């Protein structure tokens, strides 16, 4: 199966205006044909959207269907939320691993969005990235819920770390492991000023193993969020099987949440890829000010060739220090910031007095290369309001993975 993708022609925030109503609105579709040995497909979506000023609380259900919407098989769904009067913009990123593919049989995946309730309105404003690729079940490392949809589980989250998922990954010297967890959650306690949910990735057992990445996300009256982050584990000097465990906790006393689905973690092994992670890729490990002119966060250089597709993904944990209802604009440039080519951008927002800890995931496919050679990509973040202040606090991961 070749790598299939859809992006907006201009995959930036504000490039689209696709209304979302309370019935499934098709956003993108992909048809793939499994090749010999391809018995599973990983499908990923990344959507920039905003609430419309009709109701304050706007909840949107994003769904991935195998076959036609509604009449086909619902394979994954998440619910994300925003406030039309305050932090109204959001970026939602999630994925699904679909098994049971048959060689030489085409299968169509459709991404839809719908609001919850008849009065809420929202719109996709860009970016919009939808990808699908196949692999062999014996080569894949992943865990997902048996029913990987919103409401598929109710896993209580409190101050004590709760193990959510684990995977085993076989590595050899020189390989890197790219880990990508996604979890949808809702607050179940008092939500003022906010409820924090802290996700941690461990190499080995929780607590006694090595903490390699963490991400702190928060919500207030929205009560729910989709948290997606990533990490690249490196430095292997011997062939081994590595266990990774994802845990979750609500660090503040008396404030609780539930994991409600979707929930997934994938681990892919790469020998050749370009990436950047913080030396300590955890929440609170850095404090990088975001400026109004754009702060370079990370730069990576990848080798390209004719026909190659580069899957660019990033995850940024950040904190709003001042500025009620302030969006942060994230951009990916081919080349240097401002003088290079802007190929992707997205907005995500928070409130300095309330849900001020956020995690934003980015995804874009760069293609159309006509020659071989190195290409540099730069990730930036910038303030969009005067008087606002924000810092990147970790994690910070930026990857470029070649696909064919």
Higher per-residue confidence, 55 vs 282: 282
pLDDT value of position 9: 97
Residue 306: count other Cβ atoms within 10 Å of its Cβ. 9
Omega within 30 of 0 (cis) for the link into 181 = no
What are the tokens at 354?
Answer: 């309330």
- Which residues sit opposite 48 in a β-bridge? 91
Number of neighbouring beta carbons within 10 Å of residue 68: 12
Q: Decide if 200 contacts 163 (C-beta within 8 A).
A: no
Which three-class secondary structure state does DSSP give residue 233? strand
- The residue ranges of every structural domain in the chain are 4-137, 140-271, 274-404
Task: Indicate the pTM of the whole model.
Answer: 0.97
Please check the confidence at residue 137 and state whether its pLDDT lies above 80: no
Bridge-based pairing state of the strands 25-33 and 257-270:
unpaired
What is the CATH number assigned to the segment(s) 140-271?
A: 2.60.120.1340
Domains 4-137 and 140-271 share a fold: yes
Class of domain 274-404: mainly beta
Share of the chain above pLDDT 90, in %: 87
pLDDT at 296: 98
pLDDT for 36 equals 78
The angle subtended at Cα 123 by Cα 47 and Cα 58, nearest 5°, is 95
More confident residue, 278 or 32: 278
Q: Is the dihedral of CA 301, 348, 269, 231 positive or negative?
A: positive
pLDDT band at 139 (very low <50, low <70, confident <90, very high): low
Give mean pLDDT, residues 175-180.
Answer: 96
Asked if CATH classification 2.60.120.660 holds for the domain at 4-137, the reply, yes or no, is: yes
Question: Is it the case that residue 329 has pLDDT exceeding 80?
Answer: yes
Burial class (CB in 10 A: 0-12, 13-18, 19+), 74: middle
pLDDT band at 135 (very low <50, low <70, confident <90, very high): confident
Q: Structure tokens of 286?
A: 């850095």
pLDDT score for 136: 67
């Amino acid at each position: 199966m070749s790598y299939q993708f859809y992006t907006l022609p201009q995959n930036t925030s504000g490039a689209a205006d696709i209304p979302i109503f309370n019935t499934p609105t098709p956003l993108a579709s992909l048809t793939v044909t499994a090749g010999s040995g391809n018995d599973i497909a990983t499908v990923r979506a990344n959507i920039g959207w905003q609430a419309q000023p009709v109701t304050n609380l706007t909840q949107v259900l994003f769904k991935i269907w195998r076959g036609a919407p509604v009449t086909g098989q619902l394979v994954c769904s998440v619910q994300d939320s925003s406030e039309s009067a305050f932090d109204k913009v959001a970026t939602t990123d999630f994925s699904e691993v679909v098994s049971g593919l048959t060689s030489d049989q085409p299968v169509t995946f459709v991404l839809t969005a719908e609001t919850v309730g008849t009065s809420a309105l929202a719109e996709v404003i860009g970016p919009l990235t939808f990808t699908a690729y196949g692999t062999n079940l014996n080569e894949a490392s992943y865990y997902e819920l048996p029913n990987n949809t919103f409401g598929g589980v109710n896993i209580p989250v409190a101050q004590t770390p709760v193990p959510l998922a684990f995977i085993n990954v076989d590595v050899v010297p020189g390989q890197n492991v790219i880990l990508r967890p996604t979890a949808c959650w809702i607050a179940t306690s008092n939500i003022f000023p906010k409820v924090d949910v802290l996700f941690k990735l461990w190499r080995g057992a929780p607590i006694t193993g090595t903490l390699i990445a963490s991400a702190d996300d928060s919500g207030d009256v929205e009560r729910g969020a989709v948290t997606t982050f990533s990490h690249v584990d490196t430095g292997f000097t011997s062939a081994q099987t590595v266990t990774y465990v994802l845990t979750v906790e609500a660090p503040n006393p008396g404030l609780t949440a539930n994991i409600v689905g979707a929930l997934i973690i994938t681990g892919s092994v790469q020998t050749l890829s370009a990436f950047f992670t913080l030396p300590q890729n955890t929440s609170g490990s850095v404090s990088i000010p975001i400026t109004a002119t754009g702060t370079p966060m990370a730069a990576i250089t990848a080798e390209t060739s004719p026909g190659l597709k580069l899957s660019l993904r990033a995850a940024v944990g950040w904190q709003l220090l001042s500025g009620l209802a302030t969006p942060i604009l994230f951009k990916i440039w081919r080349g240097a910031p401002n003088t290079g080519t802007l190929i992707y951008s997205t907005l995500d927002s928070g409130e300095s007095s309330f849900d001020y800890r956020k995690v934003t995931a980015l995804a874009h496919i760069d293609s159309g290369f006509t020659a071989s050679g190195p290409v540099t990509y730069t990730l930036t973040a910038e303030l969009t309001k005067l008087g606002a202040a924000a810092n990147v606090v970790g994690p910070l991961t930026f990857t470029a993975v070649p696909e064919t």
